[in-house]
Amino acid sequence: MIGSLLLFGASGDLAGRYLLPALAALLDAGRLPHGFALLCASREDYDDESFRSHAAERLRRHASHVPTGAREALVASLRYRSVDLTDADSVARVVEAAAHDGTPSARTALPTASTAAYLALPPGLFAAAVRSLGQAKLPAGSRIVIEKPFGASLEDAIALNALLRRVCGAAGERAIFRVDHVLGMSQLQGLVESRSADQNGPAAGHGERIEQVEILWEETLGLEGRAGYYDTAGALKDVMQNHLLQILSLVAMEPPASAGERTLRDGKVAALGSVRSLGPTEVASRTRRARYTDGRLAMTGGAPGQAVPAYVDERGVDAARDTETFAEITLELDDPRWAGTRFLLRAGKAMAQRRRGVSFHFRTGKRRWVDFDSPADGTPEAGGTPGTRRESESSAYARVLLDILSDGSSLSVRGDEAEAAWRIVTPVLQGWADGRVPMEHYQAGSSGPPRTAARAGRMGGPP
């Protein structure tokens, strides 16, 4: 068991919105190791007390589902250090503090002082942070944890994997944890477990029974002040390259013969490897991109129902980047088991309804919807309240954090998985950069860009 968590980027949105609430929930449930130590670090010049005030406010806003006592206990335990990720000496001082400045109970109960260094950072900072951690020499048994998206391109992912291998040395893949919190969502876990237990489950009939599989990640929220990151990523890199392709791999893979981590991850890599690459003509006919114009957000899924400007007029957005807020791709697999089945992946912001899950379209006309936001009954959600949305995300991150701290890897994305996912989206990125797919538009709060009957036929969806 890893005894301490070193959270880089602790003042950022990811930490405040999801990671700190997940840790508070784990503390409340008694799931953190005895003597657990948490050290928060970022570039801001906080001290312990000022950062605790910042963290308390974030927990008040984003962890209302966690009892007040647990939130206060987590805040009281927080320590903070300012850090320059490009300065190896600065990082080394923070690593030393994480390993040795904990409470006496932490040092007594966890003498190995192993640390999980969690990089809750923009992708552009990953390489510098990993190099600095390598020079800082993390204690034996430690792990480097990297948030999604893993790199900004296929070449970037390959280079980052090589760097991690050099830094982690003999510890290898076990010392690396690539986060995709969708893997911690209970409905996705349940879908995988049902496939393992039942070879005749919902996806076992494959091509002869299933006409189309839709994998959706539609959000009613807008940009929410994330232009600094989102405008350099867009829907394709932010959601589809990671979340949706991870879901595809778990739906499409051969049901695992055993419950081992390696068997599961080998199956996912094989499924991603079977995805048929899109050529230039197919990119034009099987993909869409769009961005929202001014409108009013829906009052569901955590969105406030307020009027918002067009994406290009949002603060911090550079219209010249041509960033999409909606992406859709139709894929097929070179796998006899899935012959004739389309996989439609769609992600969007500022949509009319929050829908995150998988829809199986059977050739009989029946459909089955697996809703990631309604774990109780699996039925389509009515929109979701801010509280249930936060709790769903927090629960997924809690499972990921437990996997990290327990030295597990079942919820980690393996290096070859990350590269395989980038290989799928790279032709799409290139085709879009070449202007093969026009930028469409949709009003904020609507169901997305209009679909003509001809376009619907090519994409495989309803007009």
How distant, in Å, are the alpha carbons of 32, 227, 231, 305, 312 from that of 315?
Answer: 39, 7, 11, 19, 8
**What is d(CA 154, CA 419) in angstroms, rounded to the nearest whole number?**
6
The predicted-structure confidence for 237-261, as pLDDT tens digits, reads as follows 999 999 999 999 999 998 877 767 8
Q: Quote the pLDDT of residue 103.
A: 46
Q: Quote the pLDDT of residue 360.
A: 94
Q: What is the pTM of this model?
A: 0.90
DSSP of 74-94:
HHHH-EEEE--TT-HHHHHHH
Helix (H) or strand (E) holding 144: strand 143-146
Q: Quote the pLDDT of residue 459.
A: 53
> Which ranges of the chain have pLDDT less than 70?
101-112, 194-205, 259, 375-391, 452-463
Buried b or exposed e, range 352-379, using 16+ CB within 10 angstroms: bbbbbbbbbbeeeeeeebbbbbbeeeee
CB of 317 closer than 8 Å to CB of 223? yes
**What is d(CA 181, CA 246) in angstroms, rounded to the nearest whole number?**
10
Q: Is 133 helix (H, G, I), strand (E, B) or coil?
A: helix
- Strands in 318-448 per DSSP E: 326-331, 342-348, 355-362, 367-371, 439-443
What are φ and ψ of residue 438, in 5° steps?
Answer: -70, 150
Q: Is 387 helix (H, G, I), strand (E, B) or coil?
A: helix
Domains, the chain: 4-178 (3.40.50.720), 183-386+409-459 (3.30.360.10)
Q: Quote the pLDDT of residue 106.
A: 41
